[in-house]
Amino acid sequence: SFPTRRSSDLFPSHDRTLGLENISAWGDEVASWYYSQHLGMIMPNESHTPAYYFLCWIWYAIFPKTILSLRYLSISLTLGLALLGSFFYFKRQGLKKASYLFTLWWLWPTSLIFDRQARHYGLYFDLTFLVLILWPERRSLNKYVWWILLAFYQFIHPLAVIPILFLCGIDQLNKRDHFKLCLFDLSSSLPVMIYYLVRFSLYGQERVMSNIAWISTTPLTFIRDILMLFAGDSFPLNQFYFIPWPVFFFLMAGIFILFLVRNTRAKLTNTTLIHAVVVVLLTVGIVELAALGGTNLRISRYYIYAVAFFLFALVDSQTKESERQFDVKFFILFFFLTSYSTFLQKPWNFYQWDDQIVQEFKRDHPEYKTDKNLVICGNRFQLLYYFDRDYAGCSEEAFKRYYEAVDFSFFDLNGNDKLTLAYLMQNGKVSQV
């Protein structure tokens, strides 16, 4: 039996750390915990690169090996990169615009939600901001440091290749004599491309593509998910606290009114704002072209860079603002985003999920450690994290005992083996469900 999924709205304050320990782990976070301690298992089994897991491995050398600890890693990385990026932007644009940038970066609901997860998407978002800030000044940087930054960015998530292609393409259109410099930037994609070519050559297309075989999102759903990503929508939070469309429009309308007041025409025609819109359209176009080729990549969090493009464009488009206007806008922006999180988004709402399901199961079956005829369905990392068990195909184990007429218990954590459960319920003597 599964416990009721409940919530507790106990933390009416805007803080990334509030209630962090109460949020149940979910499958991908357990994967982060597992792969950061088993780096050798990443290439044959994981669709993402080792870059983020290597950072977790370093973190675990100092801090506790827990999922909560990795959530603090995400928060720490965002704070560090937001301060670093804002410093570089301050040197070029001054304190007022740098304050705008940091406020949007730190308080925007997308950043707030993904920073609370033991996953790499928050870092992916942050590195997009850093690349956008440094892009106009990249020729003044050490070219090898810049190349490593771009390569690392794309190693955090391979689809970061899309914004790099876009930025290089725009640069080439504007400065046609910079082809060699553009080619140098594009060469930073080679490491991640080589990594996936090696994966394909070692493990074959079928095994590699199985990592994304579960994706079944439709084009319209994908576009909706991309838009809702701007409002702080993310899995699994949206399974418990769905963000309605009116809330999305409220957020976007408020931000547009705040940023476009005065000199509206000049701001709407600003190139960075136009680029932000184009990069979203380009992303959707590339994903749909890939779908025509049989590869469905319609997972909104894979394209979190689009939100960073939009926020950076809002700040960069601000021109001819007086000191007083900046002060007033900064206060309104801080109040608006804080109010949005506190009264509408409520990211500190925590839900009962896998952690509580397992706790209840262990409470009802205290013999789970010694019961050799207990069959548990879960992935490799869940079995190790929750039960300290090595992976075994649960359907095979269940049918083996069934045909040997051995009494056994069957626990399916994810609900992925429903056909096996249905067969056992129909043909066996089931004492409890």
Higher pLDDT, 192 or 239: 192
Give yes or no for a contact between 341 and 15, defined as CB atoms under 8 angstroms apart.
no
Amino acid at the residue 129: F
CA atoms of 273 and 280, how far apart (whole Å): 11
Q: Is 68 left (phi over 0), alpha (psi -120 to 50) or beta?
A: alpha
Give yes or no for a contact between 424 and 384, defined as CB atoms under 8 angstroms apart.
no
Mean pLDDT value across residues 379-390: 93
Give yes or no for a contact between 6 and 352, defined as CB atoms under 8 angstroms apart.
yes
CA atoms of 13 and 6, how far apart (whole Å): 20
Global pTM? 0.92
Strands 7-8 and 374-377, bridge-based pairing: unpaired
Higher pLDDT, 432 or 151: 151
Q: What is the pLDDT of residues 261-272, one digit of tens each?
A: 877 888 888 899
Mean pLDDT value across residues 111-132: 96
Q: What is the structure's pLDDT at 432?
A: 63
The 10 Å Cβ neighbour count of residue 202 is 11
Closest by Cα among 98, 348, 109, 105 to 251: 109
CA atoms of 150 and 188, how far apart (whole Å): 6
For 282, the 3-state DSSP assignment is helix
Q: What is the structure's pLDDT at 17?
A: 84
Write the CB contacts of 81 (distance below 8 Å, at least 6 apart in sequence): 123, 126, 127, 129, 130
Strands 350-351 and 7-8, bridge-based pairing: antiparallel
Reading the block at residue 66, the tokens are: 């827990």
Task: Convert 109-130 to b/e letters by CB count within 10 Å (16 or more is b).
Answer: bbbbbbbbbbbbbbbbbbbbbb
Taking each continuous run of H as one helix and of E as one strand, the counts in the chain are: 21, 4
Q: Which of 140-144, 169-173, 370-374 reaches the highest mean pLDDT? A: 140-144
Mean pLDDT value across residues 153-166: 97
Q: Is the pLDDT assigned to residue 245 strictly greater than 60?
A: yes
CA atoms of 85 and 312, how far apart (whole Å): 11
Helix (H) or strand (E) holding 375, with range, is strand 374-377
Q: Is the dihedral of CA 232, 233, 237, 242 positive or negative?
A: positive
Q: What is the structure's pLDDT at 255?
A: 94
